[in-house]
Amino acid sequence: MRMTRYATLATLAAGLALGAGARAQDTVKIGLILPMTGPFASTGKQVEAAVRLYIARNGGTAAGKKIEVILKDDTGVQPETTKRLAQELIVQDKVAILAGFGLTPLARATAPVATEAKVPMIVMAAGTSIITNDSPFILRTSFTLAQSASVIAAWAAKSNIKKVFTIVSDFAPGIDGENSFKSGFAPSGGTIVGELRTPLQNPDFAPFLQRAKDAAPDAVFVFLPSGQGAAFMKQFAERGLAGAGIKLIGPGDVTDDDILNGMGQPAIGTITAHFYSAAHDSKENKAYVEAFEKANAGMRPNFMSVGGYDGMHLIYETLKKTGGKVDGMAFVDAAKGMTWTSPRGPVKIEPDTRDITQNIYIRKVENVGGKLYNVEFDKVEMVKDPGKK
Ligand code: PHB
């Protein structure tokens, strides 16, 4: 009698342990690291909202596995913080995939963690070319500055813009943007009449804009990280650059959909090249914008959000190919070459670089029915990152 009771308890305990084990194996945990507070919080909010939207629209399981997202706020400024959070997510939370990464220095600092732990790392936001070289476990669903800057350089060269003054934020993507613009614009006969780099944190653009105005260029090329465009636009108008007939061009970060509508008159006419506009005319994008705005009152999806949304798509579709398994390199290999139609248009994960190939659209800020949008008027199809060595 006693024996039976013990046996029953033991069986029950074993059963419980098995149940817990089976449950853990039935879940794919994704460690999502984003700047949810601090100067780049708009990126974190956009990417998180899109990740949640993808799950809401596609279900909480993929290939029979429950998808669990563990969100960590790295506050966006300290690479060591992002790296530590990644280590904790892997060791303590046992995440199978790392994702997010709002800024280049944060992604780069974390790359060795992905390599050492053999954990796939989906870069959903940061945009310098070198990031994908930092670890064979990195896949990117955002963009590169070289994609956008090379396209606006070619457009400027054939649009009667002869003299350009460049202003970029003084960190890796700004430098990538500046170099790509110069190497596309100068060989086509353009002249760079001045180049300045603004501090990443709390920039005061006035003195930079004054120097740009004094150089009397046809256009100012500007790169600022997502979120900083409004202050720049205001000062561009106040300093009289627009009044002096100086055009404003650049990658589309400066006319970020998250804040574009609030920029008002000074933003109108800005011409940028970029991979996503909330005004992109496709059925996939109309459905995306509508669902995003419904789920996030008062927010318009920007380019960062689409990196998050497509990052989730890549995870879901790759899990379907691996039968729900995430064993490091096999997962990365299964993701290589994937193509799909994103809200931004057609995209592909290049098998050799693990980076994203996509259309780059040329857009002009216009007032559409009382709201400001980046209205696409031309495109270069399926641009591979030109910054890969
Ligand atoms: C980056 O850090 O790579 C970055 C940040 C903001 C942007 C683009 C790139 O808008």
| Span of 2-11, 165-174, 294-303, 316-325 with lowest mean pLDDT | 2-11
For residue 317, report the phi and psi dihedrals to the nearest 5 degrees: -70, -35
Mean pLDDT value of segment 252-258: 98
Ligand 1 centroid–CA 258 distance in Å is: 14
Q: Is 169 in the pocket of ligand 1 (CB under 6 A)?
A: no
| Span of 11-20, 73-82, 222-231, 373-382 with lowest mean pLDDT | 11-20
Query: How far is the CA of 16 from the CAs of 10, 11, 21, 81, 94, in angstroms?
Result: 10, 9, 9, 37, 20
Ligand 1 centroid–CA 126 distance in Å is: 5
Write the DSSP symbol of residue 218. S
Angle between helices 303-322 and 328-335 (to 10 degrees): 110
CB 382 within 8 A of CB 358: yes
Q: How far is Cα 313 from Cα 311, in angstroms, rounded to an integer?
A: 5
Among 226, 255, 259, 260, residue to substitute to test ligand 1 (most atoms within 8 Å of Cβ): 226
For 224-258, letters b (16+ CB in 10 Å) and e give bbbbbbbbbbebbbebebbeeebbbbbbbbbbbbb
Q: Is 134 in the pocket of ligand 1 (CB under 6 A)?
A: no
If you write DSSP's letter for every residue of 275-303 in order, what string do you get? Answer: S--TT--SHHHHHHHHHHHHHSTT----H
Q: Is 226 in the pocket of ligand 1 (CB under 6 A)?
A: yes
The confidence score (pLDDT) of residue 8 equals: 53
The confidence score (pLDDT) of residue 23 equals: 63
Among 33, 82, 101, 103, residue to substitute to test ligand 1 (most atoms within 8 Å of Cβ): 103
Q: Is 272 in the pocket of ligand 1 (CB under 6 A)?
A: no
CB 149 within 8 A of CB 223: yes
pLDDT band at 52 (very low <50, low <70, confident <90, very high): very high
- 146-274+361-383 adopts what CATH topology? Rossmann fold (3.40.50)
Q: How far is Cα 114 from Cα 214, in angstroms, rounded to an integer?
A: 47
User: CA nearest 119: which of 307, 327, 310, 315?
Assistant: 327
Q: Is 35 in the pocket of ligand 1 (CB under 6 A)?
A: no
Beta partners for residue 69, in sequence order: 30
List the chain domain ranges: 8-143+282-354, 146-274+361-383
| Predicted confidence (pLDDT) per residue in 334-346, tens digit | 999 999 999 999 9
Beta strand segments in the chain, E: 27-34, 61-62, 65-73, 97-100, 121-123, 138-140, 163-169, 191-198, 219-223, 247-251, 271-274, 339-342, 345-349, 356-368, 371-383
If you write DSSP's letter for every residue of 92-146 in order, what string do you get? Answer: TS--SEEEE--SHHHHHHHHHHHHHHT--EEESS---GGGGGS-TTEEE-S--HH
Q: Whole-number mean pLDDT of the chain?
A: 94
Ligand 1 centroid–CA 24 distance in Å is: 35
Please check the confidence at residue 110 and state whether its pLDDT lies above 70: yes
Ligand 1 centroid–CA 9 distance in Å is: 56
* 122: amino acid identity, one letter: I
Question: What dotted CATH number matches 8-143+282-354?
Answer: 3.40.50.2300
Closest ligand 1 atom to Cα of 227: 10
Q: How far is Cα 106 from Cα 126, in angstroms, rounded to an integer?
A: 9
pLDDT band at 25 (very low <50, low <70, confident <90, very high): confident
Sign of CA dihedral 264, 155, 282, 292: negative
Ligand 1 centroid–CA 103 distance in Å is: 5
Structure tokens at 14: 């074993």
Same fold, 8-143+282-354 and 146-274+361-383: yes
Q: Is 225 in the pocket of ligand 1 (CB under 6 A)?
A: yes
Structure tokens at 171: 């960190």
pTM for the whole structure: 0.94
Q: Is 359 in the pocket of ligand 1 (CB under 6 A)?
A: no
Beta-sheet pairing, 247-251 with 271-274: parallel
